[in-house]
Chain A
């Protein structure tokens, strides 16, 4: 049945990399600040933009690791 065959359909420990993206995104108090700013851009803005890129890289890692 559906639930019993999860072994094949597959949980992977690599999926934990996704949890990081949620924690980072939802922990607003951590990044609601101006300093350290970067080329004049407040932390609040460049930090979140940086995580768009890191999130894409993490997703790519999960893709390659689980798609064998």
Chain B
């Protein structure tokens, strides 16, 4: 029987109390009328460069990332490092595309990507498709944040039998739901500062301490099996692991800023300049993510998976337990408390932003568009607050009652689905050339083929595309968004020839300072 690590637990709880207080106090920070959706759901678009850095960093580099990437390195090796080229490529995209989106959204008071698409292409069904894709892709992502939380709570020896084991998770979630409801986006923005400082502290501690204990990086990498150290060299007539690695990185990079929580973080910035500056500053997080991926190898080198005291954890959580086990093995209890709190709080920040983003989408683009067309400002923000609660408890129920692998499948599928909004959102920021119905049909084709490829590949995100006697295994999201784009372009040309109309309420000047 695993014993409760009281010192770690007390520090963990103390830090949780701290951020809870912070979450509620945040309602008064840069005070605005929280009965406006713009204030509750976007923090009044008042976050400057530094707060935006913490907020987007806290938003994109989630607890799940910090557990799953090292876990993948631990289990599968070099392929996990695709997260590094992925985060190299996201910042040029952020720099070029998203300041323009910010300006047009600011000008027209758009809160969501779907609002923008509605205005740009004048088609509410296309806007609905974008909104539903966003919500559906976000829900399993929220659920997976809880896995990070579950793993660290389990790591401190807090285990119960049956559903009693989920009580700590429930408590954490009630806290999260309450401060999100009260303070809106200001809560995760303020908590993100604490979370990120803790994460940086933990990452640097582990990257300094473990190599010293193990006698340098040379010794660590020497213990990593050759098959995990590098990607397998592709055989004849296939792009093999290289193609998988590159397409995963590129596809993930293209998809990232289409997620509603990313867009919510971006739109809450105070200016397009703040976003550009962040494109140069956010790689600080990428560097840390790379370091943390190496932590998976540290876990291999220390041999934690073979130690009897961690057997229960590995049995319960699989490779996701690699990082917590390494922390428990390496650090004194008080620091384990800090490190685990960093991961736990790291789950709450993105979960809060994701639930706000999903709530904004539902409220603006489904409820207001199709159910109650003329809500008062107060009704609109109240609706969003309720939806944020429903979304979170839906995610909680999912993780408690449904096997974790389904949440993972859905999250992987979510990436394939969300990228299908790229032509409407990312390219829409640059051009109104596309026909709205062509975009919608392209979206349908992308969603259907992407889902089919995922299932055909046995619930994996990589599909072995065969062409002219060659095999190109790679990320389905990238393959299907190309198909989507081709369909959209061809149909736009056809519909335009048949006299299709374009209606756009934005003008070129809206996309600039």
Chain A positions near chain B (C-beta within 8 angstroms)? 1-3, 5, 8-9, 15, 18, 21-22, 24-26, 28-29, 32-34, 37, 39-42, 44-45, 48-49, 51-53, 55-56, 59-60, 62-63, 67
Contact = CB atoms under 8 A, between A and B. Distances in A.
Interface of B: 78, 81, 84-85, 87-89, 91-92, 95-96, 100, 216-222, 229-231, 233, 242, 245-246, 249-250, 273, 276-277, 279-281, 283-284, 286-287, 290-291, 294, 431-433, 507-509, 511-512
B84 A28 contact: no
A51 B217 contact: no
Given A28-B242, A44-B78, A59 B230 contact: no
17 contacts: A3-B433, A9-B511, A22-B89, A22-B92, A25-B85, A26-B250, A28-B231, A32-B78, A32-B231, A40-B221, A40-B222, A44-B229, A44-B230, A48-B84, A51-B84, A52-B88, A62-B95
A32 B217 contact: no
Nearest to A49: B290
Question: Which of B88, B216, B511 has its CB near the most chain A CB atoms (within 10 A)?
Answer: B88
A39 B283 contact: no
A52 B221 contact: no
B280 A21 contact: no
Contacts of B242: 28-29, 32
Contact of B87 (A5, A28, A52, A60): A52
B63 to A, nearest CB: 21
Given A40-B219, A45-B81, A63-B277, A32 B91 contact: no
Given A25-B88, A59-B95, A42 B290 contact: no
B283 A53 contact: yes
Contact of A40 (B218, B230, B276): B218
A24 B507 CA distance: 36
Contact of B218 (A21, A39, A48, A49): A39
| 7 interchain residue pairs of minimum CB distance | A40-B218, A25-B85, A40-B217, A18-B92, A56-B283, A60-B280, A59-B280
Given A9-B511, A15-B96, A41-B221, A48 B290 contact: yes
Contacts of A26: 85, 246, 249-250
Contacts of A22: 89, 92, 250
Contacts of B283: 52-53, 55-56, 59
B276 A63 contact: yes
A29 B242 CA distance: 7
A25 B89 contact: yes
A50 to B, nearest CB: 10
A31 B473 CA distance: 19
Contacts of B91: 21, 55-56, 59
Contacts of A32: 78, 230-231, 233, 242
B101 to A, nearest CB: 13
Contacts of A1: 508
A3 B431 contact: yes
Contact of A41 (B85, B217, B286): B217
A42 B230 CA distance: 9
Nearest to B297: A45
